[in-house]
Structure 1
Amino acid sequence: MSCVVAVEPVLPGHVYAQEAITEVVGPLVAPDPGRAALLRRLHGSAGVDHRHLVLPLEEYAGLRSLGATNAVFVREGAALAERACRRALTAAGLEPGDVDHVFATSVTGVAAPSLDVLLSERLGLRGDVRRTPSFGLGCAGGAGGLARVHDHLLGHPRDVALLVSVELCSLTLQHDDDSMANLVASGLFGDGAAAVVVVGSGHPLARAARARTVADPSAARPRPARLVDTRSHLYPGTTEALGWEVRDSGFAIVLSAGLPDLLRAHLPADVKGLLVEHGLTPAEVPTWVVHAGGPKVIDAVRDALGLPEAAVRESRASLACAGNLSSSSVLDVLARTLARSEAPPGSPAVLMAFGPGVACELVLLRLEGR
């Protein structure tokens, strides 16, 4: 089994209270007083206290085209992703030249050469590094990226893989669009990136992680975690429920209010199908790493699986501190979980995220000792 040895989320330096964002963004999105009042209510109930933005808040009034926003994505996204990768490699005790495979995911901007190529030059990766760029997995990209990295490492057990997610959701703000989807999105999504170092089962770092048989809650380092198994599910008839409408003004969100109901209907069977093959039930899983998609998404996961509120504590904390970070969100929750978990070594954890499709990505892990 492959092993997660470092998870490093990073956030841009421009941080604002939710109320401050509402005051500036509200007139850009909903100049009509009635819709502006609705926007304020939606922002206030989003479960978000602060968000980090890639640009100063006052600069968003001037961003009105796909070309302008995408240029910012390429410039600032590559820089933010580089920070995350350098921190993750340092935390793992590795150098850029040790990386054999890069999986890069985003849904908030496009680049050609792709983000992984830009990172290769900035980090100094080897010329023969394998690369997998991904666009379109959306909020499921962090979980799906872990799954695809695991697939690669099953066939290359001595390799080092680097998963990097960068999402600049603020760049998708649609001016003068007071649709319910845009009102919700303008109060929910934040900017961030995350990098994860994963090694194959034959790598020395994986063997060292397996040797840690005692968890020490006082230890400063986060816990490694073994990737045990994965599942992907597409829900039929839902392609219009979540995604983008690409406009001259940029990426306009498609967001169905029925997503929580979809999760309640499908998630119990999906999770049980993954766990049963490993002799487990949801009640035997002490750790849950749930995409911080919003209060209703978190509630739906909790209720569908019969989890206690404590099981989604880190998801709510991530949402409050940074908003929904799209594909980076579940990786931020994973970092928080590995830093704080006191579950016994060898205990299972389930990581999950949801994206356009509608798609559900599930990853079964086992926590190692610190």
Structure 2
Amino acid sequence: MTTLMQRTGLLDERSAAATRMAGSAARIVGVGTAVPGAGYSQRELLDILRVDDPRIRNLFLNSAIDRRFLVLPPEQEDGRRAPESQADLLAKHRATGLDMGVRALQATLKRADADLSDVRYLCCVTSTGFMTPGFSALLIRELGLGRHCGRLDVVGMGCNAGLNSLTAVAGWAAAHPDQLAVMLCVEACSSAYVFDGTMRTAVVNSLFGDGSAGVALLAGESGEERGPQILKFSSCIIPEAVDAMRYDWDSNEGKFSFFLDRDVPYVVGAHVETIIGRLLSDTGLRRGDIAHWLVHSGGKKVIDSVMVNLGLTRHDVRHTTGVLRDYGNLSSGSFLFSYERLLEENVVRPGDHGVMMTMGPGSTIETALVRF
């Protein structure tokens, strides 16, 4: 039987370990976002794209999305939008992504009170196209970042990739105290659109918007008291739902086509309690102790499923639903748009805890625990 002294010693050891972990943890010291210049309501998009199918119109108009920012195909002489080849879409991915990425990175550094010359590590995340070299190299050249800047490109992981990548960037920051690391999510989702009149593609076309979001991290003395500490990450992959979210090659259209299974909300909802339990284990925290929830804006049904299964209120997910309403699903960077809104709300108090949550292909749920 464990003695009181042994239990006390174990608790002291855990406390000391937690203190050491928090002391070396990376802090979020800046965030910034960018979208294309043109925004459209759902009804405007239906009219522009000349969608008459009542099922598709109903899908768009009941999506809990008011507006999205997109780079649409060019207009032809007859007023219709020009068809885009896969090559056209990849060119859009590069041009739109680079433009948004530059502006989001600049906004992030401004918020972090840092300069381009301060960036020592750059991780770029995208799932809306493939190119080599990736956005990290292109942005380093475009902005004149140092040629010795470490870099990483994370491609094709989907909407959960922001937190997957934040794990790597936080680890780099912790291993390099007082050196600035930046993660940049660059998602030109209109570069993944297929307009073939089917309900499969209509689900995607009704949901995703273009956007980029960056976050700057610092560990060590330079980051002290400058932003929330990232205390812990936890992941959950659901292999039996590996095909629920995927890119397929559409031979008829000659393009990649994204697929979302209609059961995705239920798959996510069935596992969120488990992942949050793992995230909060050994922390002494309960769900009720979490003051701020920053959940990926995956869609109305996904958000509702997370709310129901975690017992959250509409107020808890107000930033998540607000981002969905104003931008649509922004893929990997959605949770950072919500984080930016939380900061602008100016309600965070020192000592508050927050949970970040993303979900995407795999099927995967990623979480992070932060302390303000």
What is the TM-score with the length of structure 1 in the denominator? Answer: 0.89
Q: Is the 8 A contact 1:101 1:162 kept in 2?
A: yes
Using the alignment, how far apart are the partners of 2:311 and 2:58 within structure 1?
29
Kindly indicate whether residue 24 of structure 2 is the aligned counterpart of residue 4 of structure 1.
no
SS at match of 2:248: strand
* 1:305, distance to aligned residue in structure 2 (A): 0.4
Q: Is the 8 A contact 2:188 2:210 kept in 1?
A: yes
Number of the residue aligned with 1:234: 237
RMSD: 1.6
Using the alignment, how far apart are the partners of 2:237 and 2:265 within structure 1?
15
2:268 to 263, 267, 272: 263
Going from structure 1 to structure 2, the CA distance change for 1:7 and 1:63 (only over 3 Å counts) comes to farther
Q: Is the 8 A contact 2:162 2:332 kept in 1?
A: yes
Number of the residue aligned with 1:214: none
Number of the residue aligned with 1:350: 355
Using the alignment, how far apart are the partners of 1:203 and 1:98 within structure 2?
15
Number of the residue aligned with 1:184: 203
Using the alignment, how far apart are the partners of 2:344 and 2:328 within structure 1?
20
* 1:240, distance to aligned residue in structure 2 (A): 0.7
Using the alignment, how far apart are the partners of 1:18 and 1:93 within structure 2?
37
Kindly indicate whether residue 59 of structure 2 is the aligned counterpart of residue 54 of structure 1.
no
Amino acid at match of 1:7: V
* 1:62, distance to aligned residue in structure 2 (A): 1.9
* 1:164, distance to aligned residue in structure 2 (A): 0.5
Number of the residue aligned with 2:191: 171
Q: What do residues 305-344 of structure 1 show as CA deviations (whole Å, max 9, x unaligned)?
A: 0011100111111011111011121111111112215132
Deviates more, 1:285-294 or 1:272-281: 272-281
SS at match of 1:7: strand
* 1:296, distance to aligned residue in structure 2 (A): 0.4
Number of the residue aligned with 2:336: 331
Aligned 1:92-111 pairs, distance under 5 A:
92-111=112-131
Q: Which has the higher contact order (CA 8 A, sep 6+)?
A: 1
SS at match of 1:309: coil
* 1:154, distance to aligned residue in structure 2 (A): 2.3
What is the TM-score with the length of structure 2 in the denominator? Answer: 0.88
Amino acid at match of 1:48: I
Number of the residue aligned with 1:301: 306
Unaligned runs of 5+ in 2: 1-24
Amino acid at match of 1:50: R
Percent identity between matched residues is 30
Q: Is the 8 A contact 2:36 2:70 kept in 1?
A: yes
Using the alignment, how far apart are the partners of 2:71 and 2:184 within structure 1?
17
1:15 to 39, 43, 48: 39
Q: Is the 8 A contact 2:247 2:259 kept in 1?
A: yes
Using the alignment, how far apart are the partners of 2:282 and 2:239 within structure 1?
24
Amino acid at match of 1:228: L
Q: Is the 8 A contact 1:245 1:252 kept in 2?
A: yes
Unaligned runs of 5+ in 1: 28-32, 210-223
Number of the residue aligned with 1:198: 217
Q: Is the 8 A contact 2:73 2:82 kept in 1?
A: no
Amino acid at match of 2:291: P
Aligned 1:39-118 pairs, distance under 5 A:
39-55=56-72, 58=75, 61-118=81-138
Structure with greater Cα Rg: 2
Using the alignment, how far apart are the partners of 1:39 and 1:334 within structure 2?
32
Amino acid at match of 2:258: I
* 1:245, distance to aligned residue in structure 2 (A): 0.8
Count of residue pairs the alignment pairs up: 343
Q: Is the 8 A contact 2:74 2:82 kept in 1?
A: no
Using the alignment, how far apart are the partners of 1:20 and 1:270 within structure 2?
39
Amino acid at match of 2:38: H
Using the alignment, how far apart are the partners of 2:260 and 2:117 within structure 1?
41
* 1:108, distance to aligned residue in structure 2 (A): 0.4
Aligned 1:95-174 pairs, distance under 5 A:
95-174=115-194
Q: Is the 8 A contact 1:108 1:251 kept in 2?
A: no
Amino acid at match of 2:157: L
* 1:203, distance to aligned residue in structure 2 (A): 4.4
